[in-house]
Chains A and B, each alone.
Chain A
């Protein structure tokens, strides 16, 4: 099994969200970056589990500049064999998908796994774009993934429940919670990650969308406190004041 896992960096979940450049750019000052949780906890760990079971290799692919190298080393420490970084600043999903598809084309990956979305832009669209560009089948929001004799068996979110679906390889899938459990890299993993190959590729790309402006949501007003002995008062307010029920 030759598996490609697409990973991106995202600001740590406790980061202060602020903007610069006339609110056109994310203010990265003082921000710690992590591997996007869906990419790490579910896609990467499941890929490593599949490799442990069936043999083969796990390669990670990141579109981003050198600032991404620490999170790529972390993915290698968790257990990926090698990594590719396409040295382009990612700004648009179509651009990122095209760069990944160009790189993956002709490399005969059996499986291309992505996290279901990034926690910064929340697009959730790159995996399906890769599939279309490479003319591959695609399963979105998969919560389980097994490989059995060239056939992938997955569970995915669907209207009001979960669907079981079978697809022959090669395949692109996006991983949601349930597919695997987070792994903490051990000392040996961290040491060996330093010498695993990280290949940097130059490429050019085009974009089709631009962020004009970021805005922070309005502050909440004060919280109205209600006496714990009078919960019926809350129910009344929810109906008459908030008109929520």
Chain B
């Protein structure tokens, strides 16, 4: 018996979501007294750091795969060969495309977006876009889980995993990838997995004023985000929109400048560990959801914060 993590690879290394899935699989396996294995497709540097997350073996398929149905065939074959009682993937573009297909192939119950390890046959996940949590139990023998980004830490022991070739019949690809654009030219961490986020709203008054937001983000090593109206009017790209109808995030630090704190915005960010709000209006609802607040003009406060952050970070 085993727990199987399916891990996506980018430039020879697992993605952050892949490492989180492997860490989750290893912790879940350890609690059951069984071993965890990871499945990858394509080239990987050594064990890609997967051994450090606690998996004992890395199964490597020889070629990179993008097609979700091919991935699902591969993962289901690995799960069956290694008698997996649970299959774990990241709750991102990768896991959302593949894990449900694996669940169907294995007739396994799936819980999407888990935030904690299963206990007593039940596992916790976010619902209502972070406004509540649900404990869900699975009634099938095999379970499939996708792990919410930034909810479960990456384990880092000194172990090495053994990399083994794994082959299976996966059929032909029905999609072809014809191009790729990086979301943020300046090499920011993608928003769903960012640990530090600096966000701004309509209080910034226009796209030409975003320099002071970007400066603070850069000084902190943070990723930029925005409220919905800001992306709807086109001041900022859609992939920066956080909230109930945008991206749900849970970074260590969320700094919100010139955002009122509407319920739909809060739903997407209220699980951030520390929230800082900067707003001219002392009655702004966001202060009720914040850990630290500054009543002040973002145009004055943000540059001062940037200077202080630069001094501290060196």
Instruction: Give me the interface of A with B, judged by CB distance under 8 Å.
Output: 11, 13-14, 17, 19, 37-38, 41, 92-94, 97, 116, 119-129, 131-133, 135, 137-141, 143, 153, 156-168, 174, 177-178, 207-217, 220-221, 223-228, 231-232, 234-239, 242, 244-245
Contacts and interface: CB of A to CB of B under 8 A. Distances in A.
B170 to A, nearest CB: 14
Interface string B81-96: 0000000000111101
B245 interface: yes
B293 A225 contact: yes
A164 B180 contact: yes
Contact of B180 (A119, A126, A162, A224): A162
Interface string B280-314: 00000001111111111100110011001101110
Contact of A238 (B111, B179, B264, B292): B292
Interface string B1-19: 0000000101000010000
Contact of A208 (B15, B138, B277): B138
B68 A124 contact: no
Nearest to A42: B245
Interface stretch (B33-41, B101-109, B160-168, B200-208): B101-109
Contacts of B99: 125, 128
Contacts, number: 267
Contacts of B63: none
A245 B309 contact: yes
B101 A138 contact: yes
A132 B110 contact: no
A4 B10 CA distance: 34
Interface stretch (B51-59, B121-129, B151-159): B121-129
A94 B105 CA distance: 11
A156 B238 CA distance: 13
Contacts of B139: 207-210
Contacts of B112: 93, 122-125
12 contacts: A93-B112, A94-B104, A97-B104, A128-B68, A128-B96, A128-B98, A141-B97, A160-B10, A166-B178, A209-B110, A213-B122, A214-B134
A245 to B, nearest CB: 6
A210 B127 contact: no
A160 B270 CA distance: 23
Contact of A17 (B131, B295, B308): B131
A124 B91 contact: yes
Contacts of B68: 128, 131, 137-138, 140
B49 interface: no
A244 to B, nearest CB: 4
Interface of B: 8, 10, 15, 66-69, 72, 91-94, 96-101, 103-105, 107-113, 122, 125-140, 146, 174-183, 190, 196, 220, 231, 238-239, 241, 244-246, 248, 252-253, 263-264, 267, 270-271, 273-274, 276-277, 287-297, 300-301, 304-305, 308-309, 311-313
Nearest to A235: B308
B134 A213 contact: yes
Contacts of A212: 122, 135-137
A119 B132 CA distance: 12
Contacts of A245: 196, 220, 253, 309, 312-313
Contacts of A210: 136-137, 139
Contacts of A92: 109
A132 B274 contact: no
Contacts of B135: 211-215
Contact of A223 (B97, B174, B292, B312): B292
A216 B132 contact: yes
A161 B181 contact: yes
A162 B185 CA distance: 12
A125 B177 CA distance: 22
B177 A165 contact: yes
Given A164-B177, A231-B301, A13 B263 contact: yes
A177 B293 contact: no
Contact of B100 (A37, A38, A93): A93
B309 A235 contact: yes
**Most chain A beta-carbon neighbours within 10 Å: one of B112, B125, B134, B301:** B134
Nearest to B108: A208
A207 B140 CA distance: 10
